[in-house]
Amino acid sequence: MSYSIVLHAGAADSWAGESQLQEKTEFFLHHLINGAEDKLRNGESALQVVTEVVSALEDYPQFNAGKGSALNNDGFHELEAAVIDGRTCRYRAAGGLQRTKNPIKLAHKMLDFPAPALIIGNAADELAETNGLDMVDNSYFTTDSRRVYWEAKMNKLLENHGTVGAVALDIYGNLAAANSTGGVTFKHRGRIGDTAIVGAGIYADDEVAVVCSGSGDAILQATVAGRAAAATRSGTKLNDAVEKAILKSAELYPDSSCGVIAIDASGSISIHCNSRIFAVASASSSQPEWAGIARSTIPILSQLAIFENEKIIAGMVKYPTFPNQIVVCSQPREPILSLEAEPFVDFFIRLRRVIRKVQSFYQAPDIAFITCGKTSSAFVFPLSISTQYMDIDLKDDDYTTTYRPLSDGHRADFHYVDDRLIKVRIHRPDKAGLFSTELQQYSQTILQIWTILQVLSREVGPDASRPHLEVHPQRKGHVTIFLGMPHPSSFPKPATFCDSLPGYLTPELGPKVADMASLGRLAGKMAEYLTSSSI
């Protein structure tokens, strides 16, 4: 029999901690999802498994639920949780908890009684205590990092995300969902977010189970979980339903971020977020287990789109590393660097048209460009001033280089370090900026790039799994294919925002833009400009 499970530990725009903390967190998520999968495989119910998973997440102090929860504006904790048995659609939730050690256990215990479906405040703690659940002092939920953050950022909220949750399908075909949170840092005393509200941050029935994380007030008002579930029940594919629900929430509340995990009755899994990062883990009878910090899966928000046709979509970047940064994506979403020759050239010809219009809009003398690994996305960086011409090889004594002639006046230099290929530099026959080149010459260069990508796929194999194609205006005479990151990664922390063009471009996301409303207005003006003439 088939089974599936997904858990999350919060969608967020920032990350606190060093690489050791990331490794420790990912190890914990791996261990937790492995245990949950074993329980489902051995016949435990989806309802029991999601409750146990969320309880374990509540006990892990790194996450904003249970121990480690956010502090409200009065400096204490108020927790909330909910659970839904998809088989019966029975929903139970509790909020405003101050002493119940594991809020999700109270929500689960409430399924034993015909009512209430939702209980809040002191009465909720009293119900937990009456039913023999573990009770603690409110200070138990406080961690040093939460207290330090609260004291340092008093009335200066920078991060308003954080929930834990799980959805599962058991071998009997039953679905279940569970969610828990400490809420928003500096939240008003008594505030209830989306986490405990059916149809907002959580939903489950006999066809689909959904839980959300992120900007709780936006998710609550946009009814994200219910919206995604309704679309799925109406025949929309699960992944599309989840993405559309997130996009609608972001359209209604532009400054918000959201992550969603979902499973349908067939066992299909969806993990989507428009936040910068999303801590998740998943496993199923048909897919291997995975756990880690996921990156944003929705590169372009509806209100930030500037151009779209059947093959390409472009928009402003929510998490930029450079002023006026643009993201472009192939349509349908296929990894750009894995396209066959004809659609590869066609995409880049369309890209050239968009870039030239963007360049005209900004009166930008030059353009930088980098693809985002083996994804459907790439970044465009319009430059406000001309860059110094630096068409040099940037030689390193540790490099060894081999040369291969290509057609139409091109040449490829393969650079190795300790016999490992790290990059390929494709020299072009002219020194103009690539996107300013005459169309025939441009198309020839794009075809040579595709040819080298095929060589890498055949000769390097797995080492070429995440290539990045860079067009850097300081090196106009060539384009570069990096095998791996062009520079050390800062992930899961945001990449540095640079006011001037760095020596190497980054395909990573930076800090969230400060004014989403202004960015949306700029996107609207650019969209009008781009559609005012043919592209």
pLDDT class of 157 with cuts at 50, 70, 90: very low
Residue 79 CA to residue 120 CA, distance in Å, equals 10
List the one residue out of 257, 189, 191 whose CA is nearest residue 222: 257
Read out DSSP for 459-502? HTGGGGSSEEEEE-GGGTTEEEEEES-SS---TTSPPPP-SS--
Q: What percent of the chain has pLDDT above 90?
A: 79
pLDDT of amino acid 391: 42
What are the structural domains, with CATH classification, of the chain? Answer: 4-76+141-295 (3.60.20.30), 302-482 (3.30.428)
**pTM exceeding the 0.95 threshold for the entire prediction:** no
Residue 338 has pLDDT above 50, yes or no: yes
Residue 392 has pLDDT above 80, yes or no: no
Catalytic one among 25, 163, 185, 321?
163
For residue 223, give the DSSP letter. T
Among 11-20, 65-74, 220-229, where is mean pLDDT lowest? 11-20
480 is catalytic: no
Q: What is the pLDDT of residues 92-126, one digit of tens each?
A: 999 999 999 999 999 999 999 999 999 999 999 99
Among 297-301, 333-337, 388-392, 439-443, where is mean pLDDT lowest? 388-392
For residues 329-336, average pLDDT = 93
Q: What is the pLDDT of residues 199-218, one digit of tens each?
A: 999 999 999 999 999 999 99
For residue 88, give the DSSP letter. T
Q: What percent of the chain has pLDDT above 70?
A: 94
What are the residue ranges of helices labelled H in 76-202? 103-109, 122-130, 144-152
pLDDT of amino acid 532: 83
pLDDT of amino acid 331: 93
Among 4-13, 275-284, 463-472, where is mean pLDDT lowest? 463-472
Residue 373 has pLDDT above 90, yes or no: no
Residue 249 CA to residue 231 CA, distance in Å, equals 14
Q: What is the pLDDT of residues 274-307, one digit of tens each?
A: 999 999 999 999 999 999 999 999 999 999 999 9
pLDDT class of 150 with cuts at 50, 70, 90: confident
For residue 324, give the DSSP letter. T
pLDDT of amino acid 430: 86
* E runs forming strands in 24-156: 79-85, 90-97, 118-120
Mean pLDDT for the chain overall: 92
Residue 466 has pLDDT above 80, yes or no: no
